């Protein structure tokens, strides 16, 4: 395939925005994928919706009451805006895949490269890498803390760092020994189911705990903590890097806007069910993850066990996705090395990744503020800033309505505020955590 088929030229030479909307009145399957990949048109729009909910709804929900503690009730407004803006960015990001009307791009990185060249591709890879390293570190940290808490007073009582190492060793077995792992549907479904179960347990237990809570303090808005609250919320909508893969499997890709909006709306509903009762009942004493705030007992143990199983199952998928990108970048393959050398290089690289994840989890053992940092530095760029910039660069500005331009401006503005000020606030909060302030 010629390079011009993938990157056809100036945005003004591309088809109109009506054509970019998947050629709704044409056969979308006539559009070829880049690199000769063909569409696997087997999945329904409902399956795409389900996959979006599975990918997006996760541990981020557990930190939302803590985000309200940081920013006050105004965090609910930010949660609503994040829902609206992430839905918009999810729609336009997939539009960018079809921007030339002839060839469909295959990934977030390809869109970045088409829009801003090699620099754009590398920048997108960098922010994606931060997320794919940071989230596993967050997961193994959470698993280690949960197991350590559940084992207190038993023969298996160990410190959280030791349990972090044990959990990482468990994850390392499939990650290091197997070259690739196709994401099995039930793992994603289990992650969504785990989140839903924990949300409803927290909802019920927190409502039951209302009579035991006195002198609860709520704030309408805490301006100096506003950016870090935004960052925590942004972490909860981080599905953009995988949307290209989800849409590629749709039988009716023209229904993508409905699928992504419906999926994110479902996630937002779960988030409100977590954030409102968690902050209302516990106020400034709420913890992250929120199930640490509910009374000690079977319900709390069940929450910790379910989420621990979820994150341990999810970690190999995230790490393998990043490892395959690194191996491609470093030319670690049987095309460039013998099978033995390739296996040794792959083993060394993946072992190094596991060690990096463990070191981060042990030395930055603060779930809430670390999640805020990931949300600020990675997700604000991947969800709010980049998709709008890619979209305008690839499709132009003149064919946009004034209200869409205003919407795009506020999406980018929210992302920039979260990225810059949220990162600064998160780093300060982590520094205070580490120094015991």
pLDDT at 25: 39
* Total number of domains in the chain: 1
Arithmetic mean of pLDDT over the chain: 83
**Residue that wins the pLDDT comparison between 393 and 60:** 393
Q: With 70 as the cut, is the pLDDT of residue 230 above it?
A: yes
- Which tens digits make up the pLDDT trace of 276-334? 999 999 999 999 889 999 998 999 999 999 989 888 887 887 788 788 778 877 877 76
3-state secondary structure the chain: CCHHHHCCCCHHHCCCHHHHCCCCCCCHHHCEEHHHCCCCCCECHHHHHHHHHHHHCCHHHHHHHHHHHHHCCCHHHHHHHHHHHHHHHHHHHHHHHCCCCCEECCCHHHHHHHHHHHHHHHHHHHHHHHHHHHHHHHHHHHHHHHHHHHCCCCCCCCCHHHHHHHHHHHHHHHHHHCCCCCCCHHHHHHHHHHHHHHHHHHHHHHHHCHHHCCCCCCCCCCHHHHHHHHHHHHHCCCCHHHHHHHHHCECCHHHHHHHHHHHHHHHHHHHHHHHHHHHHHHHHHCCCCHHHCCCCCHHHHHHHHHHHHHHHHHHHHHHHHHHHHHHHHCCCCCCCCCHHHHHHHHHHHHHHHHHHHHHHHHHCCCHHHHHHHHHHHHHHHHHHHHHHHHHHHHHCCCCCCHHHHHHHHHHHHHHHHHHHHHHHHHHHHHHHHHCCC
User: What's the CATH code of the domain at 230?
Assistant: 1.20.1740
Supply the range of the domain harboring residue 398: 3-434
- Which tens digits make up the pLDDT trace of 88-140? 999 999 999 998 888 888 888 899 999 999 999 999 988 888 888 888 888 89
pLDDT at 29: 52
pLDDT at 177: 79
pLDDT at 22: 44
pLDDT at 385: 94
Q: Which of 164-168, 246-250, 314-318, 426-430 is predicted most confidently?
A: 164-168
**Is pTM beyond 0.75 here?**
yes
């Amino acid at each position: 395939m010629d390079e011009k088929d993938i990157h056809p030229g100036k945005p003004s030479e591309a088809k109109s925005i009506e054509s970019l909307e998947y050629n709704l009145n044409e056969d979308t399957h006539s559009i070829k994928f880049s690199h000769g990949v063909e569409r696997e048109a087997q999945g329904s729009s409902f399956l795409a919706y389900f996959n979006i909910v599975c990918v997006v709804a996760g541990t981020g929900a557990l930190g939302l009451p803590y985000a309200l503690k940081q920013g006050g009730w105004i965090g609910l407004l930010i949660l609503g805006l994040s829902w609206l803006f992430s839905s918009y960015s999810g729609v336009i990001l997939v539009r960018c895949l079809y921007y030339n009307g002839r060839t469909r791009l295959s990934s977030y990185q390809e869109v970045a490269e088409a829009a801003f060249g090699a620099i754009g591709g590398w920048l997108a890879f960098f922010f994606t890498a931060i997320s794919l390293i940071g989230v596993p570190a967050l997961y193994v940290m959470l698993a280690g803390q949960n197991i350590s808490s559940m084992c207190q007073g038993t023969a298996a009582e160990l410190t959280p760092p030791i349990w972090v190492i044990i959990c990482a060793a468990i994850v390392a077995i499939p990650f290091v020994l197997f070259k690739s792992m196709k994401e099995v549907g039930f793992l994603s479904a289990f992650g969504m189911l785990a989140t839903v179960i924990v949300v409803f347990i927290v909802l019920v237990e927190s409502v039951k705990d209302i009579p035991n809570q006195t002198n609860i303090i709520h704030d309408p808005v805490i301006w100096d903590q506003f950016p870090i609250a935004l960052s925590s919320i942004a972490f909860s909508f981080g599905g953009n890097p995988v949307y290209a893969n989800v849409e590629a499997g749709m039988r009716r890709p023209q229904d993508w806007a409905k699928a992504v909006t419906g999926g994110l709306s479902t996630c937002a509903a779960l988030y409100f069910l977590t954030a409102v009762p968690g902050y209302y009942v516990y106020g400034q004493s709420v913890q992250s993850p929120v199930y640490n705030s509910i009374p000690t007992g079977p319900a709390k143990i069940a929450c910790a066990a379910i989420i621990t199983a979820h994150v341990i199952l999810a970690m190999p998928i995230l790490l393998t996705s990043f490892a395959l990108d690194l191996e491609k970048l470093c030319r670690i393959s049987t095309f460039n090395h013998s099978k033995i050398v390739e296996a040794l290089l792959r083993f060394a690289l993946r072992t190094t990744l596991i060690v990096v994840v463990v070191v981060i989890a042990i030395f930055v053992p603060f779930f809430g503020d670390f999640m805020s940092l990931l949300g600020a530095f990675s997700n604000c760029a991947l969800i709010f800033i980049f998709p709008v910039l890619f979209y305008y660069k690839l499709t132009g500005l003149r064919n946009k309505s004034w209200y869409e331009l205003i919407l795009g401006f506020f999406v980018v503005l929210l992302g920039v505020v979260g990225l810059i000020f949220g990162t600064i606030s998160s780093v300060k909060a982590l520094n205070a955590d580490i120094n015991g302030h």
